[in-house]
Amino acid sequence: MKITKKILLFLLVLIVMIPYVTINASAKSTGNNGNQSDPIGENPASYPLHQADQAPIDWLSYRQGETFDLSEKKGETDFVKGYTADGVGIFWHFINPDKLGGYANINFVDENGKIVEFKNVQSYKSNQHFGVVTDYGWKLLSAEYFPQEAPKKGATQFNLSHTAGKLPVVQPAVGSLNVNVDVTKQHEKITYQPVWQKKYQPVWQKEYQPYYAPVYAKDVSTDNTDTLVSLSSNAFKNGHTYVPVNVAAASADGGSWFDIADSSPQNRPNGYKYNVKIANGKLTISFDDRLIAANVGAYVVNNPKDFPGNAPAHFGNSVSVDMPAGYGDVVYLYFHNAGGLKWYTTGKYEFKEYRWVRTDLVADYKVRDDLVADEFVRNDKVGNEFVKDKYDVKFTLVVTDENGNEVYNGGINNGDEFSLDNLKPGKYTSVLRGDDFDDVTKSVTVVAGEKASANFDNIVVTDKDYVEEEYLEKIYLDVIYLDKIYLKDIYLKDIYLDDEYAIYLN
């Protein structure tokens, strides 16, 4: 029986080789690699990496579920790359019909897209059978054959004969579902910072020191008569008087003095004198240092008959006139004062009074700060948080399988954990119901031999009817000080200065 199988396989290989030798004889050979298979980018359903008597092998969708048996006796298990003792995986079988020996480099792409290379793969039977074993999810990338010697008929054919899968034996198993419920109830808490303001009224005080100084003045005598003349019994023209002046006496030091009187017929003296002094051909009328104001005019003649009829020119306080030509020992003087005289009675300063001089500001100081306002300004929101509340309630839990069949319908307390065991693998839906929130659904997949978890621990119930408000101790803005005001000024006892600070009026 074994011989018959070998003969049939040999004949099949020969039949397959004939068309490929024809194809490859016209193809350009690439080195000594023979006809390498590189199916990247090709359609696996039409790529001729198969034996001629079979339909094209879809090597991207390789056969699974078929078993493969490698002979330990023939040494197949020793030479097939990737083979393990359990014989689980996909067996990839390549054939070199020419039996030229050599080796092959066979590359795959694993489930993660990583290229896995099988280099220097040796024939495990008859110099023409090459095989590797991979995991189920691997895809063939390329198969390159390197013969020991160049074939006489040109390129050497290298085929993917077939694939065969061997699945691991999996015992039926069940899983479990663990449900955990931890619902949080909370309320909003807002923290406010009361802000207040104080206003103060600064109250100040000023103190003043009044100073008074002594006032001294010379007594003033005034003759309000419009016209004054000399006190004399000698008169001319309506009572205008004149006096004889001794030239020698008037020319001496100190000159001569004459009394002044009014121009009335009574010729009353006013108690004041004028001085006559002759020098350098001039006669000068002056007054002592008591004079304040005068308006004086004069004529000097050798004979009283020579006085002119008109009024003399007047000058303030003193006057000088020319002596008459050819004057002798005596000349005659007409003295005329218009508008009265004003003079100091004694010429000495007499105390009159104390007069206010100044008031010095001697103190300007704060008396106190009066609190005039302590008022609320605003509430600043400084915190907003959610505070957990005690939430001891019972919820309804409904668990259904992927077909909608209930596997559990009952209550579960908040904070509890519930486990459903002996569940068939598959998708399960858990629904948690409560009075304070909408239904919450969790879908999990139960895997055999494992425990799936449906955790209802991200549910938060907020009490919208209660907001807690907290007020911190009030704080104050910077104090506001109003414009200062003053109490009634204080005036200290008057100080009377001594004569060092005396005031002299005239």
Annotate 118-144 with DSSP letters as a single string. Answer: EEEEEPSBTTTEEEEEE-TT-EEEEEE
pLDDT tens for 282-309 read 999 999 999 999 999 999 999 999 998 8
Do residues 256 and 245 touch, judged by C-beta distance below 8 A? yes
Q: Tokens 């002594």 identify what position?
A: 214
Q: The tokens of 118 are what?
A: 């099988």
Q: Distance between CA 76 and CA 126 in Å, rounded?
A: 11
Entry pTM: 0.42
For residue 241, what are the CA distances in angstroms to 88, 260, 266, 269, 399? Answer: 173, 10, 11, 12, 155
pLDDT in tens, 387-402: 999 999 999 999 999 9
Q: Which of 486, 491, 487 is nearest to 209 (CA)?
A: 491
Tell me, what's the pLDDT at 458? 87
Question: Domains of the chain: which residue ranges?
Answer: 2-166, 175-217+350-501, 225-339
pLDDT score of 271: 92
pLDDT at position 84 is 80
Instruction: Tell me what pLDDT residue 39 has.
Output: 44
Please choose, from the candidates 12, 11, 7, 24, the residue with its C-alpha nearest in 3D space to the C-alpha of residue 52. 12
User: Which regions in the chain score pLDDT beneath 50?
Assistant: 1-48, 50-53, 56, 153-155
The 10s digit of each residue's pLDDT in 75-129 is: 778 778 787 877 778 888 888 777 777 888 888 888 888 999 999 888 888 888 8
Give the H or E element holding residue 259: strand 256-262
With 0-12 / 13-18 / 19 or more C-beta atoms within 10 angstroms meaning exposed / middle / buried, residue 97 is: buried
**Assigned token pair, 458:** 């991200």
pLDDT for the residue numbered 16: 37
- What would be the CATH architecture of the domain defined by 175-217+350-501? Sandwich (2.60)
Q: What is the pLDDT of residue 30?
A: 30
Burial call 135-145: b when 16+ CB within 10 Å, e when fewer: eeebbbbbbbb
CB 132 within 8 A of CB 80: yes
* Residue 432 Cα distances to 166, 180, 243, 394, angstroms: 44, 11, 149, 10
